Amino acid sequence: MKNLKTRSAQDLKKLLAGTLLAGMLAVPNAGFAATSLPLSDIASNTNKDAILKLNYAGVLKGYTDGTFRPDKEVTRAEFAKIAVLAMGYTDAQANLLKGSTKFKDLPASHWATGYINLAVSQGIIKGYPDGSFKPDSTVKIAEALTVYVQGLKINVNASSTGEWYYPYLLAADKAGIYDTKETPTIPAKRDIVAKYTDRFMETPVYANGSYYDKDGNADGTIKKLPVVKGTVASYDKATKKLKLTGQSGDIAISDSAQVYGNIVTGAQVEYIVKSGKVAFLTVSTADASIVEGVVKTGLNFTTAVGDEKKFKAIVNGKEVVLEVENGVSVSRSQIGQKFVAVMDEDGKVASITFAKNTTVGTVEKVSSVSGSSSKKEIKVDGTTYTLTSSATVKEKAHPQAKEEASSFGDIEKGDLVELTMDVDGKVTAATITKLSVVETIRVDTDENLISFGGYEYEVLEDTDLLVDEDEVSELDDLKDNQVAILTFDTDGNLTKVEQGVGVASNKLIEDTTAYQAGNPAKLATIKVEGKTYEILTTAKLTIDKESVSPTSIGADQLNDYRIISWKYNVGTKNIVELTLEKQTVTGYVTKKSGDKITVGGKVYQLASGVTIDSNAATNDKEYTLTLNNAGKVKAVTGAPRKVSGVVDSVEIRKEDGKIISAKVVVDGEKYDVSDEDAVKDVDQFEYATLTLNRDGDVTAATVQGKKAQSDVKFVGIESRVNGDKYVFFDDVSSSLKLAKDAQIKYYDGSELDEDELETSDKIDLWTNGNGLVYVIVVAKR
Give me Rg for the CA atoms of the chain.
40
Digit-coded pLDDT (tens) for 436-449: 998 999 999 999 99
What string of DSSP letters covers 549-612?
A: -GGG--TTTTTTPEEEEEEEETTTTEEEEEEEE--EEEE-EEEEETTEEEETTEEEEBPTT---
* Model confidence at 87: pLDDT above 70: yes
Q: Is 648 helix (H, G, I), strand (E, B) or coil?
A: strand
Mean pLDDT of 701-723: 93
- pLDDT of 71 reads 95
pLDDT at 37: 85
Contacts of 160 (CB under 8 A, 6+ apart): none
SS3 355: strand
- Count how many Cα atoms sit within 13 Å of the Cα of residue 113 in the half-sphere of its side chain: 16
Region 392-420 average pLDDT: 94
- Strand pairing partners for 281? 259, 271
Report, as an integer, the average pLDDT of 605-630: 94
Can you give 31-47 as a three-state secondary structure string?
A: CCCCCCCCCCCCCCCCC
HSE at residue 140, side-chain half, CA atoms within 13 A, is 10
501-504 and 562-569 beta bridge pairing = antiparallel
Name, in order, each residue with C-beta under 8 angstroms of 724's C-beta and a sequence gap of 6 or more. Answer: 737, 738
**Does residue 25 register a pLDDT over 50?**
no
Q: Where are the alpha helices (DSSP H) in 176-227?
A: 190-202
Q: Compute the distance between CA of residue 444 and CA of residue 451 in angstroms, rounded to an integer.
A: 8
User: H-type helices in 303-376, by residue range?
Assistant: none
Share of the chain above pLDDT 70, in %: 93
What average pLDDT score do residues 667-684 get?
A: 89
Q: Give the pLDDT confidence score for residue 290 in this predicted structure.
A: 85
| Average of per-residue pLDDT across 459-475 | 89
Q: Is the pLDDT of residue 26 over 80?
A: no
β-strand 735-746 against 621-627: which pairing, if any?
A: unpaired
**Confidence at residue 549, expressed as pLDDT on a 0 to 100 scale:** 95
Whether the pLDDT of residue 30 is over 70: the answer is no
pLDDT (0 to 100) of residue 16: 24
Which of the residue ranges 212-221, 269-278, 332-341 has the most confident prediction, judged by mean pLDDT?
A: 269-278
Read off the pLDDT of residues 245-289 as tens digits, 9 standing for 90 and up: 888 889 999 988 999 887 888 888 999 999 999 999 999 887 778
Amino acid type, 64: T
Average pLDDT, the chain: 87
Reported as a pLDDT band with limits 50, 70 and 90, residue 661 is confident
In terms of Cβ atoms closer than 10 Å to its own Cβ (0-12, 13-18, 19+), residue 203 is buried
Element (H, E) at 464: strand 464-467
User: What would the mean pLDDT of 362-391 be, rounded to a whole number?
Assistant: 89
| 211, 223 contact by CB (below 8 A) | no
Is pLDDT at 396 greater than 90 in this prediction?
yes
Cα–Cα separations (whole angstroms), residue 68 to 45, 73, 141, 198: 11, 12, 19, 16
Higher pLDDT, 575 or 15: 575
671 three-state secondary structure: strand
Question: Is residue 14 predicted with pLDDT exceeding 80?
Answer: no
pLDDT of residue 222: 62
Is pLDDT of 545 > 80? yes
Rounded mean pLDDT of 516-545?
92
Mean pLDDT, range 759-769, rounded to an integer: 94
Helices (H), 163-312: 166-175, 190-202
Does residue 630 contact residue 596 with C-beta atoms inside 8 Å? no
Residues 6 or more apart whose CB falls under 8 angstroms from that of 682 comprise: 647, 650, 664, 688, 701, 703
Residue 469 confidence (pLDDT) above 90 = no
* Residue 84: φ, ψ to 5°: -65, -45
Count of alpha carbons within 13 angstroms of residue 239, beta-carbon side: 9
Q: Which residue has the higher pLDDT, 98 or 505?
A: 98
Residues with Cβ within 8 Å of 630's Cβ and at least 6 positions away in sequence, in order, are: none
CA angle 32, 38, 44 (to 5 degrees): 85
Contact 22, 399 (CB under 8 A): no
How confident is the model at residue 756, as a pLDDT? 92
Residue 434: CB atoms within 10 Å:
17
Choice among 153-162, 222-231, 355-364 with the minimum mean pLDDT:
153-162
Judge whether residue 33 has pLDDT over 70: no
Least confident of 310-314, 349-353, 369-373, 574-578: 369-373
Instruction: Report residue 209's pLDDT band, with 50, 70 and 90 as the boundaries.
Output: very low
CA 173 from centre of chain: 48
Task: Give the pLDDT of residue 205.
Answer: 64
* Best CA proximity match to 177, nearest among 191, 158, 197, 157: 197
Question: What value does the mean pLDDT take over residues 642-670?
Answer: 86
Three-state secondary structure of 88-120? CCCHHHHHCCCCCCCCCCCCCCCCCHHHHHHHH
Q: Which residues of 688-725 are buried (b: 16+ CB within 10 A; e: fewer)?
A: bebbbbbeebbebbeeebeeebeebebbebeeeeeeeb
pLDDT at 207: 44
CB distance 49 to 56 below 8 Å: no
Phi first, then psi, for residue 66 (nearest 5°) are 85, 10
